Structure 1
């Protein structure tokens, strides 16, 4: 089982690892294509004045220090996941089974080494970066998805990059209303608890006791199981 997560706009700075190189990322076979996209962003960064969407750091992305993606992102979901406080086995589970859909780098694993960057959701650095990611990563993810079910905890926006055919999704309900913004916290909580329990099947996943989350219905449609859950 693989867990799909959205990135966060909030990120930690710095890093103790060297700048990006072929060993920084999962999916070595498409490294050059990934680099082509990053180079386009890098070039656009030098001329844009759009600080809101692209930040004010004009240094090359290729020159910046890196750290694990799971430690780089620091938004709500990642706060509730709280990776640093997990035991080693659970951290390893996250490293090996969580895929993050970066706006800039495309599909990366939790342990991939990435630099600090700014690219707001939906912003286009002179080209449709989401379409480019989709073309590169769809064949790779389809092959994985044929063998493994995906636990898709992303925001719907990231279906622009990839929409799985075999997946579990969660809908959070509170006081008869769908939870929207705070859903990020529940996605982080779910990821943490899944990492601790390490289920190997949907049946094992549904046997997990998720604090503050109660499964009330499972809706199946075209290979997607939507788990409707009531939250406190």
Structure 2
């Protein structure tokens, strides 16, 4: 099973790993695209004012440009420890047992505008780049990643894939046959609406269930069973869509 998480704009600082080496990352077929985007991002960082405009940064976020400038030289850490925020707080990898952390390293991946997708254990630096960004001379990131990202994610030896990425990151590389998750809130009158910001929390809780379970996820029914065991209310919408219901 591969669970593809969305990234986060917020990332932890520092790390103990050696500087970025694209050749060590999972999904090596993506190396050429990664290098092209990384090179453009570092070059852009040489112009802080333009970087702020292209990346949509405010005055208090200009340190993000420094992160990009040091992309090839700054220390790295496992991707699952690099990304922070609501989803990653709910996932709580720091509190996992050794056995569950091993499962997390094996089962989790993170979508990325810069790297396409990385596995939990891949060593990456802090950076700033979003799915909707357009780097100078490169057009959209979706155009850069297609079809390489989809091809890489489709070549998983029939592995079950649960895609928790948001729409912008799915657009970079759709995964044929992946199981998707929608988070809905249900009112007392039975009406339902899509959960926006806090859907990240519920997906983090779900991801934690998937890396701590001993059950094997083979299809949408077994996925629903594991998520329900984790205390979340579920509903199967189709063979590839699971709904998580909240009050």
Query: TM (normalized to structure 2)?
Result: 0.84
- Paired with 2:218 and 2:166, the residues of 1 have a C-alpha distance of 23
Q: Secondary structure at the match of 1:141?
A: helix
| Structure 2, unaligned runs of 5 or more | 58-63
1:191 positional shift: 0.3
- Structure 2 residue 234 is the aligned partner of structure 1 residue 219: no
Distance 2:233 2:83 in 1: 28
Counterpart-to-counterpart distance in 2, 1:212 and 1:200? 17
Match of 2:195 in 1: 179
Shift of 1:9: 0.4
Residue 91 of structure 2 aligns with which residue?
Answer: 81
1:16 match = 16
Match of 1:152 among 150, 160, 163: 163
Q: Which residue of 2 aligns with 1:63?
A: 73
SS at match of 1:161: coil
List runs of 5+ in structure 1 lacking aligned partners.
none
Q: Which residue of 2 aligns with 1:200?
A: 217
Work out whether residues 33 and 144 of structure 2, in 8 Å CA contact, stay in contact via their aligned partners in 1.
no
RMSD: 2.0
Tell me the equivalent position of 1:161: 172
Q: Are 2:245 and 1:230 aligned? A: yes
In structure 2, the partner of 1:109 is 119
Q: CA offset at residue 154 of structure 1?
A: 1.1
Q: Secondary structure at the match of 1:62?
A: coil
Alpha carbons of structure 1 residues 24 and 186: separation in structure 2 relative to 1, 3 Å: same
Residues 103, 33 of structure 1: CA spacing in aligned structure 2 closer, same or farther, 3 A cutoff? closer
Would you say 1:26 and 2:26 are equivalent positions? yes
Q: Does the 8 Å CA contact 2:7/2:112 hold for their aligned counterparts?
A: yes
Once residues 28 and 211 of structure 1 are traced to their aligned partners in structure 2, the CA distance between those partners, rounded to angstroms, is: 34
- Distance in 1, Cα, partners of 2:155 & 2:65: 38
